[in-house]
Structure 1
Amino acid sequence: MQGQPDSQEQALVAKVAAGDRRAFTELVEPLIPRLLATSLRMLGAHDEAEDVVQNALASAWIARARLGPARPVLPFLTTITLNKCRDKLRRRKAAQFLGFGNASMPELASDPAPSPETETVDRQLLQKTHAEIQRLPLRLREALILAAIEGRSQSEVADILGISEKAVESLVYRARKVLKEKVSRE
């Protein structure tokens, strides 16, 4: 559902604007896995990512009047989800500053390596890379996750973040450069 919305999506958007909850569910349900993946990559914790997506969808329902038949739904929902992630990260940072709890450890996928030694090294590298992604400045992290990790086009990322395609290219380049320097140090 990138680019111009199709006629089915436009019809659903019209129903949603009129207050049809079933149409809203039908419209957003196929997009939830992508939104969840984005928020999980931003936050690093599955339970927080689910909460953020749920809040984002509630906000989208409240702001349904801003949906238009010519406006694609996925970038609209992704923007709301990213804003909710930013809010969550700010609250997390404030809580850590005030000494309330610790950030949860990110869930890491295991690598089916041929030997335990290789698996250990790969897991450590993945953990270090994930930790360094979490330490990137927010704008770099968003661009990297959307463009490089999720594979969205620079045009789509530019639309979601409200910046130019050249700025997206620059942010992704800088994020990769920072990661390469940090991860290769040992």
Structure 2
Amino acid sequence: MSARYEPTDAALLAAHVAGDDRAFSTLAERHFDRMWNVAMRVMGNREDAKDALQDAMISAFRRAADFRGDAAVTTWLHRIVLNACLDRLRRLRSRRADPLPDDLDRSMRFASTADPETAAVQRDLAADVAGALEQLGADQRAALVLVDLEGYKIEEAARILGCAPGTVKSRCSRGRAKIAVLLRGWRED
């Protein structure tokens, strides 16, 4: 039985640049879930996340030839998604965001459906966490989304954000402190 060949991300990007019509869509499909999660968590609502992700994919499609290979293709893609989100947030700053994203937190998938009261409490907590995230500045929110929600290591998040690892650590620390204050009622309950 022979193993099926799966091209690397770099090979797909190179094939796209060389004119392969399917290579970029294969690459985008491969990483869609994580890019969508980043966009949703940074933007805070489905419509803005869709728009930001679309902007990011168009940008990546057009700028593929500029990829230097200094980082992994996934890091490059996530950086483009994050930049598109931050650009969109700047443009939307004067517009009030929708209160909560539709798919608040992956942890909700693990909520117990056997106990409706527990599930309701978990939904309320997820909604409050999402609301607290929306109150953070874009830099702190992006760092927390990458490190705490998406599970990136500090160094990888620093590459995606284009800053030093110490900066990511401090943004996460300050963001967590603000969220702790905003969610202190949960600890008291």
Please, what TM-score do these two structures have when normalized by structure 1?
A: 0.82
Matches within 5 A, 1:153-172: 153-172=153-172
What corresponds to 2:138 in structure 1?
138
Matches within 5 A, 1:34-183: 34-69=34-69, 71-96=71-96, 103=98, 105-107=100-102, 108=104, 109=108, 111-112=111-112, 115-183=115-183
AA in 1 matched with 2:67? L
Q: Percent identity at matched positions?
A: 31
How much has 1:50 moved relative to structure 2? 2.4
Give the secondary-structure state (helix, strand or coil) at the position aligned to 1:95.
Answer: coil
Instruction: State the alpha-carbon separation in 1 of the partners of residues 48 and 150 from structure 2.
Output: 19
- Residues 166, 20 of structure 1: alpha-carbon distance in 2 compared, 3 angstrom cutoff: same
Alignment length, in residue pairs?
176
The farther-off stretch of 163-172 and 111-120 is 111-120
Root-mean-square deviation (CA), in Å? 2.4
Q: Is the 8 A contact 1:10 1:70 kept in 2?
A: no
Q: Is the 8 A contact 1:39 1:82 kept in 2?
A: yes
Give the secondary-structure state (helix, strand or coil) at the position aligned to 1:94.
Answer: coil
Please, what TM-score do these two structures have when normalized by structure 2?
A: 0.81
Q: Deviations over 1:82-139 (max 9, x none)?
A: 111112222332234xxxxx62532244843665544444333221211011111111
Instruction: State the alpha-carbon separation in 2 of the partners of residues 135 and 185 from structure 1.
Output: 16
Structure 2 unaligned spans of 5+ = 1-5
Q: Is the 8 A contact 2:100 2:131 kept in 1?
A: no
